[in-house]
């Protein structure tokens, strides 16, 4: 896996984990060094778990296709509330379903902190937390169904680009020449995944 996580991404996870443990109720400057170190360790463990889930189940194993990074503080908090483990594959898939829709519809692209606080309040009561999160998304959007027009974006920054990458991995898309499943774990200098046009520009120019 190739992920590059900055301090700006990890610290919010620490804050949510401290809150989950009721270790901090006021300001960051009240946190002791020991508490801060413990929070970093817990955040790292939670992020590792989430990245492994996202990589293994969704095939999003590179930073360039990792959408919805601002959903990680909430997912880390959710994990911490459950001792760092999900009950079964149903809970796992429901959490990932919510995660996918957060980046498809830009859940955290606006007022990130206020929206995150709303979502955190939704999961305070553990029972049915994921159902409430998904229902809240559905209420805000009106509909979570996809249409062909949603895939009109062409750049790597398009919201639906990670979804296209995920579909190639989950559905075992194959290399057209070798028939080998596309994977970021292929060995060899020239076998890492790359982004190309279906029809190379040079080839199109050659044919007018």
* Contacting residues for 108 by C-beta, under 8 A, at least 6 apart: 68, 70, 71, 102, 115, 116
Domain span including residue 168: 1-208
Q: What is the DSSP string of 96-165?
A: HHHHHHHHHTTTTSSSHHHHHHHHHHHTSS-TTHHHHHHHHHHHHHS-----GGGG---STTSTTHHHHH
Q: pLDDT in tens for each of the 208 residues of the chain? A: 555 555 555 556 666 555 554 444 445 556 677 877 877 788 888 889 999 999 889 988 877 788 888 899 899 889 988 989 999 999 999 999 999 999 999 898 878 888 988 999 999 898 999 999 999 999 988 889 988 888 887 667 778 888 888 888 888 888 777 887 776 666 555 556 666 677 777 878 888 7
Number of domains observed in the structure of the chain? 1
**CB neighbours (10 Å) of residue 67?**
23
pTM (global) more than 0.85: no
């Amino acid at each position: 896996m190739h992920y590059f996580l900055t301090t700006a991404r990890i610290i919010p996870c620490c804050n949510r984990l401290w809150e989950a443990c009721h270790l901090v109720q006021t300001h960051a400057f009240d946190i002791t060094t020991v508490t801060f170190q413990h929070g970093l360790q817990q955040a790292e463990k939670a992020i590792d778990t989430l990245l492994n889930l996202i990589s293994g189940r969704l095939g999003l194993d590179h930073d360039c296709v990792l959408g919805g990074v601002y959903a990680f503080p909430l997912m880390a908090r959710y994990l911490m509330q459950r001792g760092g483990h999900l009950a079964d594959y149903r809970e796992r898939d429901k959490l990932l379903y919510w995660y996918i829709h957060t980046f498809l519809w830009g859940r955290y692209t606006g007022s990130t902190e206020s929206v995150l606080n709303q979502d955190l309040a939704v999961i305070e009561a553990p029972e049915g937390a994921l159902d409430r999160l998904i229902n809240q998304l559905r209420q805000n959007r009106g509909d979570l169904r996809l249409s062909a027009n949603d895939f009109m974006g062409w750049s790597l920054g398009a919201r639906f680009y990670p979804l296209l990458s995920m579909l190639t991995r989950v559905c075992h898309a194959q290399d057209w020449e070798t028939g080998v499943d596309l994977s970021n774990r292929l060995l060899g200098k020239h076998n890492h995944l790359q982004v190309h046009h279906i029809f190379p520009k040079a080839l199109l120019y050659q044919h007018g």
